Each structure stands twice: as structure tokens, then as C-alpha cells.
Amino acid sequence: MKYKRKWPALILVLALTVFVSACGGASGSSESTSGSNESTSGSSESTSGSGESTSEPSNETVELTLWSDWMKDDPYTEQYYARMEQFKAEHPNIKINMEVIPYNEYNLKLQTQAAGGQLPDVMQLIIGGTFLEPLARAGLLMPIDDMIGEWKDTKIPEGLLKEFAVDGKQYAIPAEVNYSSMVFYNKKLLADLGYTEFPKTYSELLALIKAANDNKITPIILGNKTGTVLPATYLSVITDRIAGSGFIEQVLAKEKKLTDPEFISALNIIKELADNNAFNKDANNIDAAAATDRFVNGQALMYIDGSWVIKPIIANKASGFEFGMAVFPSIEGGKGDPMSLPAATYQGLGINAKLDDKKKEAAKTFVKFMYGDELFTSLLEGGALVSANVEVPGNLDPDFQAQVELTQRLTGISTVFGNVMPKDVGTAVNNSLQGLILGSVTPDKVAEDAQKLLR
């Protein structure tokens, strides 16, 4: 599934960001790199650009090298490939020499080549955040603040731009977004328990969990075998509900600690859910695929996971199965926005900082074109949530359209815990939360162990 593939890249990249501080200076990719493919790279193909623009040369061809994982028949990237082909038809004086690099190899190659100062003119940035930061701080990427007004002012919420910004400068425009926490619920089971709408507060959620247990219905199906679901899907949103937006960033800036009351309270809520038998007994032994399967077959009232699981839910749901979607409810006394969700953005294009003026203008023309409304619309039609506020096409699957409309009602974006924490902290919390729901670890111990690793 589309989102199933993209989300694990965030975990992978935390293990890879170890390189750019050694970079003296990146060489400008003013010569085509399309002929220097490594044997492990994907096929390299030359894709002509096209069209005329006031910012590009009118009588000469400018060639740009591009690295991406875009392929014509790949359901994950075909919309980007098609958009590039449209650019080819409209901008004949900009030639794009694209090297296709397999998705699973892409980030590592980009980092390796960056360390040697051998980057292309334009490069796909699959993710931002901790992956982007060393590239930007080493001076390898060109800030694009002078060209993002259309997106920043009207189309993309600031919270969805921030993962591709470093030290106050914007380096790319993200196209896609995943929300790490979304509640999916079985409409029939909810109605059978006497509910006409999903709970708006945490207290009401606890009452619903009790009602489900009293009727021998599994309240929430959880597939936490990998250990990554509880931090991303539960801890991130619960911390935000209690502490408000920015707490995790304050922890990283050493203005707050993971041993502070807000974080302990978030951990206590996860413990309380487990103590109230909210989860299936084998939560740490099944993965997300198994959890999805049980949910679509009517074996649980709720399934809380990332927005991306809607794809397998739609694909595998039983005939007549109806589900609704909601956000995690507000927590009494909390400081957070009840219509905020933790999110991560994807699929930006970075521009090499060392380009000459002609190449720089050509690269800016290409990037501006790529992120036109047509791209966002085609991504929605392909089942991807997008960062931009564009008109929703009328041909979407009804369940996916309901999800899109839910995300458009959000009023805030917060940070996904594991995406910004150092790798050792993230791993420790993943493991500790597995113990927390089993009762073998206390909330205080989870917090203390994690905070020690931050010192």
C-alpha cells in the first residue's frame, strides 16, 4: 500500500544521519550526472523538459540533472512522473536528465553522494526533518523562500511546511502528508452500544471502552509487534492533547524534560487504557496487517493507527462493513488543540546550492511547475493525502473522501515523537511502551530511561 511503504522510511533515516558534518563543500552539479549511475542505482533515463517562462533562457537549452525514484508504472510515484512529462511538453528549453534510484536505496545514496559533494542539480527529498537538516546546514541545498509565497500564504498550512524548513529557511515544498494517529471505528458496533456519535472527550472514550468490554467486544485492536505503533499513534497525540503543541520540540531544546508532569501524564493515559482492557491481549504479538484484518472482519470496535491504513481497510473490508473516522478525543485539563493531529510530510524537491544563475532559474521553474494544483489533484485521485488545500475531486472513493474532509477540518499539526527523537531514545521508548501495556514497566521508569539518553 502507498502509505505502508513510505512511513517506515522515517525510522530508517534516523539510523543514517551521520555524515554531512564532514562535507567541506558540495560541488555544483553544473555537469550532467546522468552518465555516472552506480550499478545499484535504478535505470537512468533522459527526460526532456519543455516550455517557455520569463525566468528561463529563451534561445538556449539548459540541462538539469535530477535524482528521484519516480517511475511511469509505479503506483507510488506515477503522478510525479506524469507531471514531469507535462513539464517536458511545455518547457522545451529545459532538459531534465533523470536518474531513477530504487526507493529502498535512495536516501542512503543521497547521503553518501552528499558526503563527497556529488549531488545532482535537483533531487527528490522523500522526507524532511532530521534527514534534511544536515544537508541544509552543510550548505548543500538552496533555500527557496523567495519562491514559495503561493504555497506558504494560501495553500499549505505552516505546520505542514515545517519539516522541510531548517533554521527558519524553507528548502522544499512537501506534496504528501501522513497523520500518525487516526481513529477508525465500526459504525454498527458503535450503534449497537447505543452511541450516535464518537466520543468527544477522553472520559467518554473510557465509558465507551467499558461498554464494549461489558458486551464482550474488543474495544481497540492494536498491532504493536514492531513497537513503533504506540509511540507514533498514541504517545504523540496524547502528549499533544495534554501539553499542547511544541512540547517535544521544547524537550529537544532542553527547555522541557521527558520526566516533566505532562509527559508522565501521557504515559499514564496509555497505562490507563491498558489497565481498562482497551487493547487485545496479544497487542505486542501481532502486526498492523493482522490488526487491520481483525478490524475489517468486525472483531473490534476501534482501530487507532496512521491515516495510511485506510487503504488496506478499503481494500479488505467485508461486504457491508461500514466504518467512520475521528480524531483522538480531548483530554480534560489538557492544553492541546482537540482538532490537532501529529503528522509527517513527504516528497519535496531540493535544489543544489552551487548552481550557476541559468541553472538556478531553470531549477526554480521546474520545481514551481511540479507543485502546481494538478499534481495535488492527481495524488488525491491516487489515494494519497496531500499537504495543499485544493479542491477535492468528485471521483474519490467515498471512504477516502470522508478522510480527506476530516483532515481538512484539522486546525493544528503536531510532531510525531519518533520522527524527531534521537534513534536511541526512540528505540528505548518503543521497547518500554511494550512493557508499559503489559504492566512490567511504570510510566516514571519509561520517562526516566528516555530522559537519561537525552543528556
**Are 2-178+344-408 and 182-341+417-454 the same fold in CATH?**
yes
Predicted confidence (pLDDT) at residue 183 exceeds the cutoff of 90: yes
State how far the alpha carbon of 273 is from the alpha carbons of 222, 230, 407, in Å: 12, 12, 25
Burial class (CB in 10 A: 0-12, 13-18, 19+), 266: buried
At 122 the three-state DSSP class reads strand
Per DSSP bridges, beta strands 62-68 and 122-127 are: parallel
H-run or E-run covering 64:
strand 62-68
Q: pLDDT confidence of 96, banded at 50, 70, 90?
A: very high
| Lowest-confidence segment of 85-99, 150-164, 388-402, 419-433 by average pLDDT | 150-164
The CATH architecture one would assign to domain 182-341+417-454 is 3-Layer(aba) Sandwich (3.40)
Strand partners, 325: 184
Is residue 11 over pLDDT 60? no
The pLDDT of residue 58 is 55
- Classify domain 2-178+344-408 by CATH number: 3.40.190.10
The model's confidence at residue 139, banded by pLDDT at 50, 70 and 90, is very high
CA dihedral over 97, 101, 106, 108, signed as positive or negative: negative
Give how far Cα 257 sits from Cα of 133, 249, 386, 453, Å. Answer: 23, 10, 33, 11
Domain boundaries, the chain: 2-178+344-408, 182-341+417-454
**355 vs 34, more confident:** 355
* Alpha carbon of residue 108 to chain centroid: 18
Grid coordinates of 100: 531513477
Angle at 58 between CA 56 and CA 64, to 5 degrees: 45
Whole-structure pTM value: 0.83
pLDDT value of position 33: 35
Question: Read out DSSP for 247-309?
Answer: HHHHHHTTSS-TTSHHHHHHHHHHHHHHHTT-B-TTTTTS-HHHHHHHHHTT--SEEEE-GGG
Cα separation, 274 vs 28, in Å, equals 54
pLDDT at 49 over 80: no
Assess whether pLDDT exceeds 50 at residue 16: no
As a whole number, the mean pLDDT across the chain is: 88
Among 424, 419, 425, residue whose Cα is nearest residue 180: 419
Written as nine digits, the cell of 219 is 474495544
| pLDDT beyond 60 at 410 | yes
Q: How confident is the model at residue 18 (pLDDT cuts 50, 70, 90)?
A: very low
CA distances from 307 to 176, 295, 429 (A): 12, 15, 22
The share of the chain scoring above pLDDT 90, in percent, equals 75
Give the pLDDT score at 50.
Answer: 36
Cβ atoms of residues 139 and 355 within 8 Å: no
Nearest to 6 by CA among 367, 383, 286, 287: 383
Taking phi first (over 0 means left), then psi (-120 to 50 degrees means alpha), and beta for anything else, what does residue 91 get? beta
Task: Kindly state the average pLDDT of the residues 166-183.
Answer: 96
Give the Cα separation of 131 and 213 in Å (integer). 43
Looking at residue 172, the DSSP 8-state letter turns out to be -
**Max CA distance (Å), the chain:** 76
How do residues 278-328 score in pLDDT, each as one tens digit?
A: 999 999 999 999 999 999 999 999 999 999 999 999 999 988 999 999 999
What number of other Cβ atoms are within 10 A of residue 454's Cβ? 15
Taking residues 140-151, report their average pLDDT: 93
Which set of grid coordinates corresponds to residue 407?
A: 483532515
